Structure 1
């Protein structure tokens, strides 16, 4: 499969939607973002792999006021492997209630489903030091 411009735009919009829904606490709309069998890997933050929409929702609710007040995504790069696997690499900024900011890299594997593109696997990696040669 070769990704069309429409596919690429749909993936970009999907990744952008994540911050809007999470910041608004619209967890009942996670099916618009993720496959039903999504693996959301936050091992680097000590939370392991969250499997499915309910696990992501529970983790966000448990974090409570520790959640960022704003998730911002930039530098989205969409690629397609030789076997047709679609991946996106993006940078995320989380603005916290105290004004501090954290930076992450999102490594996504995407799947086109009947309802459109969805994230099937997301690995969230914090950026804590500059330059990783």
Structure 2
């Protein structure tokens, strides 16, 4: 399967929209990002994967003031899959209210739906070790 330039642009915009919606507190719009049955894998943070948009919304709301005040996504790489999906890898930076920040890698599966591209699976991996290893690997 190949992706058009429009597909690639739409997918990159989809990934970028995440930070805007979360930072603006627009958790009511997460259906614009995720399929209803999305799996949001936070295993690297010692949490069970979340299943469904409602679970993602509840987890984001529960973070409250402990969550980042700003999410920034960079280095978006979109790779088509033979099954019609797209694999998307990006880097995320989260800035906290105290000025500290953390880095993650997002590994997403994007699928085309009747409403446009949506993320059906997201794995979030902590970054932090020099040389590109996961946090805690040094």
- Under a length normalisation based on structure 2, what TM-score does the superposition of the two structures give? 0.92
Distance (whole Å) between structure 1 residues aligned to residue 131 and residue 48 of structure 2:
25
Distance (whole Å) between structure 2 residues aligned to residue 113 and residue 129 of structure 1:
37
Superposed displacement of residue 32, structure 1 = 0.3
Distance (whole Å) between structure 2 residues aligned to residue 89 and residue 7 of structure 1:
15
Superposed displacement of residue 132, structure 1 = 3.7
Corresponding position: 1:100 with 2:79: no
Residue 82 of structure 1: aligned partner: 82
Corresponding position: 1:3 with 2:3: yes
Residue 71 of structure 2: aligned partner: 71
Conserved? CA contact 2:85–2:112, under 8 Å: no
Point out where structure 2 has 5 or more consecutive residues left out of the alignment.
Answer: 134-138
Residue 128 of structure 1: aligned partner: 128
Point out where structure 1 has 5 or more consecutive residues left out of the alignment.
Answer: none
Distance (whole Å) between structure 2 residues aligned to residue 90 and residue 40 of structure 1:
15
Task: Provide the secondary structure at the position in 2 that maps to 1:38.
Answer: strand
Correspondence list, 1:44-55, <5 A: 44-55=44-55
Superposed displacement of residue 64, structure 1 = 1.1
Superposed displacement of residue 8, structure 1 = 0.2
Q: Which stretch of the first structure deviates more once superposed, 57-66 or 102-111?
A: 57-66
- Alignment: residue pair count: 133
Post-superposition CA distance 1:23-79 (Å, at most 9, x none)? 111111011000000000111112210111111111112111111000000000000
Post-superposition, which runs of at least 4 consecutive aligned residues in structure 1 deviate over 3 A? none
Task: Provide the secondary structure at the position in 1 that maps to 2:129.
Answer: coil
